[in-house]
Amino acid sequence: MQVPAQGYGKIKPGNKARIKLTPYPYQEYGYLSATVKELALLPNKAQYRVALQIDQGLVSTCGKVLSFKPEMDGEAEIITEDISFYNV
């Protein structure tokens, strides 16, 4: 995936990510769980390359098996901090 320079410094190998694929709306199919494996050291046109490893293959969080299609579009959310909020 490509990441803008803003906020890039917060991303570390091992961070969790959620991949939402455009052909499979996440409200119906869920998302793919992934882990940040590698970060590019130099940008390409103000974007850094981040390599993600999909944790469970193409099985979504809803348990649906997604078909692979080359050049599938989508977006990913990288979780840089795991914070819980409690309502007291």
pLDDT in tens, 36-88: 999 999 999 889 999 999 999 999 999 999 998 888 999 999 999 876 666 66
The residue-averaged pLDDT of 6-30 equals 94
Q: Is residue 88 part of a domain?
A: no
User: For the whole model, what pTM was predicted?
Assistant: 0.85
CATH number, domain containing residue 47: 2.40.30.170
What is the per-residue pLDDT for 13? 96
Q: Is residue 85 part of a domain?
A: no
Hey, which residues does 81 pair with through a beta bridge?
none
Q: How far apart are CA 52 and CA 19, in angstroms?
A: 9
Q: Is residue 12 part of a domain?
A: yes
Please give the residue range of the domain that contains residue 59. Answer: 2-79
Q: Is residue 47 part of a domain?
A: yes
Q: Is residue 87 part of a domain?
A: no
What is the per-residue pLDDT for 78? 94
Task: Say yes or no to pLDDT of 7 above 90.
Answer: no
Residues 6+ away with beta carbon under 8 Å from 78: 3, 11, 15, 16, 17, 36, 50
Q: How far apart are the first and last CA of the chain?
A: 39
* Number of domains within the chain: 1
What is the per-residue pLDDT for 83? 66
What is the per-residue pLDDT for 81? 84
